[in-house]
Amino acid sequence: MKFAKYLGASVAALALMASAASAQNVLRWTSQGDALTLDPHSQNEGPTNAMNGMIYESLVSRDADLALQPELAESWESSADGWTFKLRKGVKFHDGADFTAEDVVFSFARANEESSDFKEQATNVASVEVIDDHTVKLRTDGPNPILPNQMTSIYMVDKGWAEANNVVKPQDFAAKDETYAVRNANGTGPFKLVSRAPDELTVLDRNPDWWGEGQFPGNIDRIEYRPIANAATRVAALLSGEVDFVLDPPLQDLKRIEGAAGLKVTTVAQIRSIFFGLDQGVDELRTSDVKGKNPFKDVRVREAFNLAVDKEAIKRVVMEGLSFPTGIITPPGVLGNTPDNDTPYGFDVEKAKSLLADAGYPNGFSIQLDCPNNRYNNDEKICQAAVAMLAKIGVKVNLDAIPKAQHFPKIQNRTSDFYMLGWGVPTLDSHYVFQYLLEGEGSWNATGYSNPRVNEITQVIATETDLAKRTAMIDEAWDIVKAEMPYVPIHHQVIAWAMSENLEAPIGADDALRPRFAVMK
């Protein structure tokens, strides 16, 4: 009897819970990997920034079309020595504190700390000057026409909260303990953190006191994020209705998802190119059977590699049609990409073979291909396909596919002979690509490629203001690169999102979910 009563009570409680949940618009979504931390200045990584961007806000942000939008700043104007921002008034942090100019000063200082991962962007600001409570001037060393572009992911943190919780500095890699900010958050954004279990479940609730309340189409009351590492399981979760949105559905499952009742797929060309790098800098490759010389120093070998990779087959079979084969390592939409240089090198096994023979490798050689297995769309599968394609010209490739956390250091430390890399261009300008990937000293240029003219152009266009001259130089540099082939371009990526038909979420070329624009029916 007692038991029956208890049972009755719990059933009633369950029913209550269920009805409470269904009264709201709950957005349940998933992706491959969780945000690394909620500390907004600790890790500059796409998924982390996207998650933090729901809770925290920056002065200037981008909408789904990547156009600049006022966020915590209502307007801004440039002068010779910096930029002046008018701050939005009446903005409160989730804990009730007011957002003022002091917080901007503090946030830039925090983003400039040794342990911050946003130093590169934050150092563009030499100092922050408080004009009044709602006006700040960000001083720069010399004119910087694109400063607002460079600070869209520098989030504003409350000074008082950070001091009270001892998180004045971002979480340090070498720290022995996690800081308070890793699992607690206090932003100004449209969603408040309710609970955070890393790699398990993160719950955010609508912030009723948000400044933008009523100005945006979004009607989400609650966000539940649950990472699912396994791709098939993610799709299963969407198919069975456990989640409403999958950020990164596997491409091969898109047809099935589109065919399923109540589900849809949206796609957009991503500002990201995928390519292989060839180390032509070292005198002897580390993983090759060719000793005493480096075959990649010979442009014929590099051309052979370019001709041997069948980008069209990769598109059709590996990418399920969702990619744009290319001959350049930067995508359309970026200044410098032209229909001409975007054309792939073509696919010609016979010519590739004869080029290899001319270069002195009629029987090919062996080499290791380093590849990430959890970063780009079907990254490992593209590499596997490349292994088979290169085998047809006699190059024996030993594939080493590892998680991105271990793959990227190989590139940054320049210890890879032959590797896969993808590159996005947030500034939509070729300079960003030259600076990192083609300039001799570029921090992500593990090819060892260094062409004096390209290096020079990289320097000059940083400050060149004559647009016609600048564009001509960018074209010139790309022509050189196109001829010298330090990389093997494969394709530009396409972003695909899968979601319930009840959900309307604008897809962005930066692959970030913007819940303030998401509408649930």
Q: Which residues bind another protein (CB under 8 A)?
A: 10, 13-14, 17-18, 36-37, 171, 173-178, 182, 195, 197-201, 226, 228-233, 235-237, 239-242, 250, 252-253, 255-256, 287, 310, 313-314, 316-318, 368, 380-381, 384-385, 387-392, 397-403, 405-406, 409, 412-413
CA-closest candidate to residue 73, choices 103, 37, 44: 103
Do residues 59 and 68 make contact, with C-beta atoms less than 8 angstroms apart? Answer: no
Work out how close the CB of 392 gets to another protein at its nearest, in angstroms, rounded to a whole number.
Answer: 5
Distance of alpha carbon 507 from alpha carbon 511, whole angstroms:
7
Full 3-state SS string of 53-73: HHHCCECEEECCCCCEEECCE
Beta bridge partners of 60: 70
Amino acid 195 reads S
Q: Which is nearer to another protein, 342 or 400 (CB)?
A: 400
Work out how close the CB of 171 gets to another protein at its nearest, in angstroms, rounded to a whole number.
Answer: 7
Q: Which is nearer to another protein, 74 or 178 (CB)?
A: 178
Q: Which is nearer to another protein, 341 or 374 (CB)?
A: 374
Q: Which is nearer to another protein, 364 or 422 (CB)?
A: 364
Integer angstrom CA distances of residue 329 from 108, 296, 390, 423: 33, 18, 20, 8
What are the DSSP calls for 110-175, one per residue? HHTSTT-S-HHHHTT--EEEEEETTEEEEE-SS--TTHHHHTTT-B---HHHHHHTT-SSPPPTT-
Work out how close the CB of 5 gets to another protein at its nearest, in angstroms, rounded to a whole number.
Answer: 17
Work out how close the CB of 429 gets to another protein at its nearest, in angstroms, rounded to a whole number.
Answer: 25
Sign of CA dihedral 36, 41, 43, 45: positive
Work out how close the CB of 387 gets to another protein at its nearest, in angstroms, rounded to a whole number.
Answer: 5
Q: Which is nearer to another protein, 162 or 203 (CB)?
A: 203
Beta bridge partners of 92: 98
Q: Which is nearer to another protein, 177 or 441 (CB)?
A: 177
Q: Which is nearer to another protein, 34 or 57 (CB)?
A: 34
Work out how close the CB of 406 gets to another protein at its nearest, in angstroms, rounded to a whole number.
Answer: 6
Work out how close the CB of 73 gets to another protein at its nearest, in angstroms, rounded to a whole number.
Answer: 31
The token pair that represents 510 in the structure block: 């930066």
